[in-house]
Amino acid sequence: MNYLTKAIVNGIVAGTMLAGAAVAQTAAPAESGFVNTLMPQPAQMTVGSGRLAIAPGFAFTTDKSSDDRLDGAITWAMQRLKIQVGFVIQQAQPGATAPLLISVDGPGETIQGIDEDESYSLEITSQSAHLHAATDVGAMRGLETLLQLVQSDGQGFWLPAVSIQDSPRFRWRGLMIDCSRHFEPIGVIERTLDGMAAVKLNVFHWHLSDDQGFRIESKIFPKLTGEGSDGQFYTQEEAKEVVAYARGLGIRVVPEFDMPGHSTSWAVGYPELASAPGPFTVGHNFGVFNATMDPTKKSTYEFLDKFIGEMATIFPDAYMHVGGDENNGVEWKQNSQIQAFMQAHNLSDTAALQAYFSQQVLKILAKHGKKMIGWDEVMTPGLPKDVVVQSWRGFDSLAAGAKQGYSGILSAGYYLDQMDSAAEHYRVDPVPAGSDLTPQQAALILGGEACMWSEYVDPQVIDSRIWPRTAAIAERLWSPQSVNNVDDMYRRLWVESLRLEGLGLTHISQEDASLRALAGTPDIASLRVLAAVLQPVNFDTRGSWSESHGVTTLDPLDHLIDALPPDPPSRHDFDELMSTYLQDPAGHPDEQAELLEMFRSWTAAQPELMQLMSGAPLLVPALPRAQQLTELGTMGAEAIAYLSSGVAAPAGWKAQQMAVLDDAAQPIALTRFTVLNALRNLVNEVK
Amino acid sequence: MNYLTKAIVNGIVAGTMLAGAAVAQTAAPAESGFVNTLMPQPAQMTVGSGRLAIAPGFAFTTDKSSDDRLDGAITWAMQRLKIQVGFVIQQAQPGATAPLLISVDGPGETIQGIDEDESYSLEITSQSAHLHAATDVGAMRGLETLLQLVQSDGQGFWLPAVSIQDSPRFRWRGLMIDCSRHFEPIGVIERTLDGMAAVKLNVFHWHLSDDQGFRIESKIFPKLTGEGSDGQFYTQEEAKEVVAYARGLGIRVVPEFDMPGHSTSWAVGYPELASAPGPFTVGHNFGVFNATMDPTKKSTYEFLDKFIGEMATIFPDAYMHVGGDENNGVEWKQNSQIQAFMQAHNLSDTAALQAYFSQQVLKILAKHGKKMIGWDEVMTPGLPKDVVVQSWRGFDSLAAGAKQGYSGILSAGYYLDQMDSAAEHYRVDPVPAGSDLTPQQAALILGGEACMWSEYVDPQVIDSRIWPRTAAIAERLWSPQSVNNVDDMYRRLWVESLRLEGLGLTHISQEDASLRALAGTPDIASLRVLAAVLQPVNFDTRGSWSESHGVTTLDPLDHLIDALPPDPPSRHDFDELMSTYLQDPAGHPDEQAELLEMFRSWTAAQPELMQLMSGAPLLVPALPRAQQLTELGTMGAEAIAYLSSGVAAPAGWKAQQMAVLDDAAQPIALTRFTVLNALRNLVNEVK
């Protein structure tokens, strides 16, 4: 059975197709045939029994408010519906009768903020569908739900009868992309924004400067990009285009200019900003750099005043992110003038000096009408309460802030570069059940942001690092806390992954394209068998390897690890399959057959796989994985043979298998197997 | 054996790896292991026995001339080499010693023209590689050859010892894209230009206006796009960006503004240009429209003078294309004022009136420093000899022009929308062997252009329509006429196809992405088996179907036909496999086994395929193909059983199979099988 069919059947069988506690459990799905693949799940949904057909001639219309942004959003949604169903969706005159009516009360905020009303309702019967929202943004959220509701079978396409009342649990649901360590062209940013909107994220946090490159044009300080970007940066026109594009999707753009640390790229063209004499060059290595702005000079603040003023004309959002993270204080400690300043101003340590710096920056931001957001480190005594703290340290840091009255968003646990599973991210809650925060304190936690740091991310691999895992994070941030069934999340995640591919994202197709390039042939059937059960090692393992091998931002991201998606379907689905089988091996002949077929394919792939890999220079380092795959396949088949026959394995067999598993658990060519836990469980069941 | 491995082995075995007559045949390939996959083949190549390793530390340097364009071209090539080999390629200081030396005499023409020197030489020994060219453009061509020469095996990457002297057979090697019937975003244009440069094409012919849309901004006549584009057009900035991007790749940009026919989109905003009163609306249907410019009004020429003057500031090329095709004369015949004008000016028919129009346009072009290029119809008495005629009618039309002294380029036979095979395009020669042209006349035939008309092409499907078939046309236009072995062309085409994918083209990966979308599941193994032996019906069949079903430019291109590549590997390679087998069935056990395995897979796919297709609305129309695939598989297995056993088939068996083949040859869901000819040959061999 294929992943999707299985996922859908499981959804029906297990009755997990309805959202959490807030959603009415009804017997309706079986009646209409509706399979709930919504992601994120809505706050409230009641399922009826009817179907509204989408057949040629299907039309929509609008009433109430209308504006260019709403028109654009509806056109975009109807284009996608058209492509899904294969025929033109008609637009009826405003006020005319049509199966789909979209009613929006008004445009919403002129500059979208954290209080934007994103709620909507969707009432679908066998006669009509009615989407109602207070704002354009609410309508966008509802249109995405509408598209996700479309069902199909041999007879055609239809919408299920449902009644949905939906609004987000958190107001700040973001994705940060680091465009400094590796630059991402506008096209990548825009397709990512499309994906974000599809899963109802509403903040694009644009990390525009860091040690490895300054990525946005300043007309006042042209050397920022002229000398600090290796020629890769966004023009102001392009940045404005992104802001407008995001607004068209109901997404805010919060730019980040990291300071006082992570600022090497500023100092390349403007060394007077730094706390050491320089000269500075654009960083190509990773890790924490020493370059730090000089917080003691008036000229530093004059520079920042002009710069922030200029950026404020490009980025209309109420917030501007000023980083503040990972200042190692080395330059400050080595600079006698700064040391003297600290003494004169009674600043006992570099943290105190950074707090002083933050206070000055706050004034500049306020002058330009901006509120501050920064990483944990900005939270120092005396900080105004309207600063938002973004926590890479974790919930405890966030809770400590909330207890002092600070707003915050969570990013710890949502770091996409860590190569964690969607399930791991999904289990991280910005306000965990059982936290000791008062309701007022909990309300200060505005939401969270997935973070795509880009040491190992370029335009080719970024999609598979962000998607589909970010859809699971998006659900955590939108849906009720009670929506927390991991199996059901995965069932819907694979469906959402396909829908995201339909937006032009390449997270699925790039894997095969990369495997073809690595293999040097279009015939990659055997390599697919291996790749399907591999995933990248985690960030730290790769980081250590990179450091010892002198890897920089200039090295290509074209190795096997870069082709492999983190958390591929094989991991969770194989775990689930094995777990079902092991509950009662004798009672699960289908699962047993599926497992045996899988083990057979692992063993059968070996001859072709060895030949292919041994002739492809970039696959040669991973060659031991081909041998191990055969061993794992043999192990699995033997284990099932023992289990199903009831015959005990020979003495030493189990120990030998455990040694094989331990061996296979070692990283090779920066890859790890996805199936080892399940196999260990299988072997452990053998007598 | 997979396609590529087979192709490479065949290349070695058959000794076809060297280019045609101009290339020295040596025994060297076996010695160094070099497999020639160059596309296009160079004019002259001698193969030595050594290898130049490309290992970490590999460096390049330049001497002689240097400029920004050359630097950019080298950087681009070295980026691609880096990605292929997996490590950074070092740049040595100019003048320093490095394994790869690039010597360029000078930048070449300020505005690239038909006389640009594109020649280069490449001398590679086991010690060093030396690329020499007279111009930047020659260097670009040589860099592409260098990248195509890179070989690999389990030990790593290397360049073969070769001596290449290369220059093109034809000076005009183009690709036309119709951006009117369907608009293509800049990103699509740019990635197409990358592909063009990879196969040494040098003219991008940009069809910017037609009945279905006016696609470039005019600041003087803003209603051209304001009312004639449905909002989809290139700004002048974007067009200039494309021109600069193309120049960076050694590609000229020749814009086309089709007149006096195919001009509905002009008349939407400016009905006074037309020969009928209007009003006009943007065309969404296909075929020939009536809207035609009024050639009798002074105001028409005043408009064109201003417009062409404006466009001349954007497009620096010496040529401007003014279409001239398919004016049906209807509006002219119905307009009494135009009829009176014809009588007064002694213009006997609409052709004469169009000749009059052309003469006026010629003067305007000359005023703005432009030469004219137009389709066959512009060739009328009195036309100056510096006009270039682009022939959609064929070689005879072109030869007739050449005999009168007109330059021309061939497009008949290179229409990509026809869904012909690469082999069919490859066999079309702008100056066929044995033509009766004198050498002087033949020299007037400048080359050819592949044409991508866009009735059924959008950003998702365009790559698979252009690539890889256009690489075969590119070889026809660059390589010596004697390079004409179709089997060898296909062997190299599949390799080139993979290289083109590495540039970001989606012609391979989009097929699976589309199949996933059609099937609604990532598990498309069974659908792949069917899709691999299907291709789109030809243009006329689709055209008739579209007309009878009222299909317009607004309909989505998301059906099975749109997912299928024209001329997939299955066609030629299956033909070749079958032909080898049938030469002596008993003597080809490997081929027999391969055929039987293929037939088995067709039959085996059926249950899963039927289930998948019958649940997917957009695949339901193609459902009979699944049944037919099983029948074809059964037929093939039976035929081989009879052949290999020597037993005669029962009476009626052959007739029955022929009926099945005839039935399978009927279009279903706008698809056709690729394997029927070969199967017919197989069945015919059975006694």
Question: CA gyration radius for chain A?
Answer: 27
Asked if A242 and A235 touch (Cβ cutoff 8 Å), the reply is no
Residue B131 has pLDDT above 60, yes or no: yes
pLDDT at A27: 35
Q: What is the pLDDT of residue B65?
A: 85
Q: What is the pLDDT of residue B275?
A: 96
Of the residues B109, B123, B310, B326, only one is catalytic, namely B326
On whether the CB atoms of residues B333 and B350 are closer than 8 A, the answer is: yes
**Contact at CB, B517 and A494, closer than 8 angstroms:** no
- Report residue B153: phi and psi, to 5°: -155, -170
- A511 catalytic per annotation: no
For A478-506, b where at least 16 C-beta lie within 10 A, e where not — what string?
bbbeebbbbbbbbbbbbbbbbbbbbebbb
Question: CA B592, B593, B599: angle at the middle one, nearest 5?
Answer: 90
- Confidence at B383, pLDDT banded by 50, 70, 90: confident
For residue B24, pLDDT over 50 is answered with: no
Are A416 and A422 contacting, i.e. CB atoms less than 8 angstroms apart?
A: no
Question: Phi then psi for B152, rounded to 5 degrees?
Answer: -150, 155
Residues A26 and A18: their CA atoms lie apart, in Å, by 9
Q: Which residues contact B656 (CB under 8 A, 6 or more apart)?
A: none
Strand partners, A651: none
Of A155, A509, A556, the CB nearest to B83: A556
Given the DSSP bridges, would you call strands B129-133 and B100-104 parallel, antiparallel or unpaired? parallel
**What pLDDT does B13 receive?**
29
Give whole-number Cα distances, A682 to A530, A587, B106, in Å: 20, 15, 69
The pLDDT of B541-566, averaged and rounded, is 96
Q: How far apart are CA B659 and CA A85, in angstroms?
A: 35
- Does B353 or A17 have the greater pLDDT score? B353
pLDDT, mean of residues A287-313: 96
Residue corresponding to tokens 């102001």: A236
As a three-state string, the secondary structure of A459-528 is CCCHHHHHCCHHHHHHHHHHCCCCCCCHHHHHHHHHHHHHHHHCCCCCCCHHHHHHHHHHHCCCCCHHHH
Peptide bond into B40 cis (omega under 30): yes
Report the DSSP pairing between strands A172-178 and A151-153.
unpaired
Quickly list H helices, A27-134.
Answer: 28-32, 68-85
pLDDT (tens digit, 9 = 90+) per residue, A163-197?
999 999 999 999 999 999 999 999 999 999 999 99
Average pLDDT over residues A301-322: 98
pLDDT at A13: 30
Query: What are the DSSP E strand ranges found in B359-504?
Result: 371-375, 388-391, 407-410, 445-452
Average pLDDT for B427-452: 97
Question: Chain-wide mean pLDDT for chain B?
Answer: 94
Model confidence at A307: pLDDT above 50: yes
For residue A40, what pLDDT band results from cuts at 50, 70 and 90? very high
Preferred mutation among B79, B83, B91 to probe A, highest tally of A CBs within 10 A = B83
- Contacts A521 to B, Cβ<8 Å: 2-5, 498
Taking a C-beta distance cutoff of 8 angstroms, is the pair A564, A528 a contact?
no
pLDDT at B426 (0 to 100): 98
* A16 has a pLDDT exceeding 60: no
Tell me the nearest-neighbour CA distance from B266 into chain A, angstroms: 25
Distance, in Å, from the CA atom of B503 to the CA atom of B198, rounded to the nearest integer, reads 9
* Helix H or strand E encompassing A452: strand A445-452
Position B67, amino acid: D
- pLDDT at residue number B251: 98
Here the tokens at position B320 are 């401007």
Residue B11 has pLDDT above 80, yes or no: no
Examine residue A617 and say whether the peptide bond preceding it is cis (omega within 30 degrees of 0): no
CA A662 to chain centre: 31
Beta bridge partners of residue A600, listed in sequence order: none
CB B215 within 8 A of CB B229: yes
Q: Which of residues 544-573 of B touch A (CB under 8 A)?
A: 554-556, 558-559, 569
Chain B positions touching A507 (Cβ under 8 A) are: none
| Beta-carbon separation of B86 and A509 below 8 A | no
Q: What is the mean pLDDT of chain A?
A: 94
The domains found in chain A, sorted by start residue, are: 3-166 (3.30.379.10), 209-243+259-372 (3.20.20.80), 509-685 (no CATH)
Give percent above pLDDT 90 in chain B: 91
- Work out the angle between the directed axes of helices A623-645 and A653-664 (0-180°, nearest 10): 150
Taking residue A405's Cβ as centre, other Cβ atoms within 10 Å add up to 13
Question: Does the pLDDT at position B100 exceed 60?
Answer: yes
CB contact at 8 A, A34 and A210: no
How many CB atoms lie under 10 A from the CB of residue A178?
25
Residue A318 confidence (pLDDT) above 60: yes
Share of chain A above pLDDT 90, in %: 91
CA distances from B50 to B104, B125, B205 (A): 25, 6, 41
Query: Is the model's pLDDT at A544 over the cut of 80?
Result: yes
- B606 CA to chain A: closest CA distance, Å? 15
Tell me if chain A has a CB within 8 Å of the CB of B343. no
B632-649 mean pLDDT: 96
Q: Are A612 and A526 in contact (CB under 8 A)?
A: yes
d(CA A49, CA B359): 70
In B444-585, which residue ranges form alpha helices assigned H by DSSP?
462-466, 469-478, 486-501, 509-519, 525-531, 539-548, 560-563, 569-583
Look at residue A36 and tell me whether its pLDDT is greater than 50: yes
pLDDT in tens, A333-390: 999 999 999 999 999 999 999 999 999 999 999 999 999 999 998 888 888 888 999 9
Q: Which residue of A has its CA nearest to B619?
A: A154
Residue A591 distance to chain B (closest CA, Å): 18
Flag whether pLDDT at B410 surpasses 80.
yes
Task: Compute the distance between CA of residue B279 and CA of residue B617 in angstroms, rounded to an integer.
Answer: 40
pLDDT at position A278 is 87
Is it the case that residue B19 has pLDDT exceeding 60?
no
pLDDT of amino acid A26: 33
The pLDDT value recorded for residue A386 is 87
Check pLDDT > 60 for residue B7. no
The type of residue at A20 is G
Q: CB–CB of B521 and A558 under 8 A?
A: no
* Nearest-neighbour CA in chain A from B152: distance (Å): 7
pLDDT value, residue A548: 95
**What are the pLDDT digits (tens) for A88-140?**
999 998 878 999 999 999 999 999 999 999 999 999 999 999 999 999 999 99
Decide if the complex's ipTM is over 0.95: no
Q: With 50 as the cut, is the pLDDT of residue A23 above it?
A: no
pLDDT interval class at B379 (50, 70, 90): confident
Q: Give pLDDT, residue A259.
A: 96
Alpha carbon separation from B15 to A40, A237, B6, B9, B86 (Å, rounded): 59, 55, 14, 10, 31
pLDDT at A145 over 60: yes
Distance separating the N- and C-terminal Cα atoms of chain B: 29
Q: What is the mean pLDDT of residues B286-299?
A: 93
Q: What's the confidence (pLDDT) of residue A264?
A: 96
Question: Rounded to whole angstroms, how far apart are CA atoms A93 and A79?
Answer: 18
Residues 119-148 of B with CB under 8 A from A: none
- The predicted pLDDT at position A93 comes to 86
What whole-number distance in Å separates Cα of residue B320 and Cα of residue B163? 38
Task: Give me the pLDDT at residue A20, please.
Answer: 34
pLDDT-based confidence at residue A14 (cuts at 50, 70, 90) = very low
Q: Is the confidence at residue B30, as pLDDT, over 50?
A: no
Question: Taking CB atoms and an 8 Å cut-off, how many pairs form between chains A and B?
Answer: 127
Q: Is residue B93 very low, low, confident or very high in pLDDT (cuts 50, 70, 90)?
A: confident
CA angle B381, B387, B391 (to 5 degrees): 85
CB A517 within 8 A of CB B501: yes
pTM: 0.94
Measured CA to CA, the distance from residue A565 to residue A402 in angstroms comes to 36
Nearest by CB to B501, from A2, A156, A513: name it.
A513
Please determine, for residue A25, whether its predicted confidence score (pLDDT) is greater than 80. Answer: no
pLDDT digits (tens, 9 = 90+) for A468-517: 999 999 999 999 999 999 999 999 999 999 999 999 999 999 999 999 99
For A558-579, what is the mean pLDDT?
Answer: 96
DSSP label of A93: P
